Amino acid sequence: MAHKRHHRRRRHNPFGVNGSLVKDVAFNAAGLAGANWGASFLGQSGWLDVLATAGAAIAVSYAGKAVGGAGASEELLKGGILAAIIKAIKQTGVSVPGLSGMGLYVNSYFSAPTNSDAYGRATAPTIMLPAPSKGSGMAGQRYRSRYQTRF
């Protein structure tokens, strides 16, 4: 008589992500957003904005304690303090990858395409517009392109 083998399926969680971790991250994100949102009402700039963000983080934490308890309050405060730290790093001018805003994009001048010589001097005419269509407006030409000039 053959022996039957019973295979147990084990539950695997290789990344260690559980419900409490997701909840804590959600509270941190809410604290970060709430502190930034609360500080935006004061309209400060510079270091006063950093202090306003820290104050808003504390206010969000107190509001979270009333709604979600002490654990929620702590996680909201962590997110709010993170928002204040990020603003402080930006205020000091330290270049941190990922916190610099637009990355490699810089303000530059972009001119409209024109007719120009090798030195960038525009020659007349600078802007080419389509010729006006004949007739009174779009009467009888319901689906024609407004840029079409030949009929």
pLDDT averaged over every residue in the chain: 78
Calculate mean pLDDT across residues 128-144.
58
Rounded to whole angstroms, what are the CA distances from 24 to 20, 30, 66, 120? 6, 10, 17, 57
80 and 31 Cβ atoms separated by less than 8 Å: yes
Question: What's the rounded Cα separation, in Å, for the pair 32 and 38?
Answer: 10
For 53-75, b/e burial (b = at least 16 CB within 10 A) is bbbbbbbbbeebbeebeeebbbb
Q: Within a domain: residue 59?
A: yes
Q: How confident is the model at residue 111 (pLDDT cuts 50, 70, 90)?
A: low
pLDDT of amino acid 76: 94
pLDDT at 146 over 70: no
The string of DSSP codes covering 87-102 is: HHHHHHT---TTSSSS
Q: Within a domain: residue 69?
A: yes
pLDDT of amino acid 97: 66
Long-range contacts of the stretch 105-111 (C-beta < 8 A, 24+): none
Q: Which domain holds residue 67?
A: 19-92
Q: How confident is the model at residue 54 (pLDDT cuts 50, 70, 90)?
A: very high
pLDDT of amino acid 63: 92
DSSP state for residue 116 in the 8-state scheme:
B
Q: Within a domain: residue 55?
A: yes
Of residues 132 and 6, the one with the higher pLDDT is: 6
* The total number of structural domains that make up the chain: 1
Calculate mean pLDDT across residues 27-35.
94
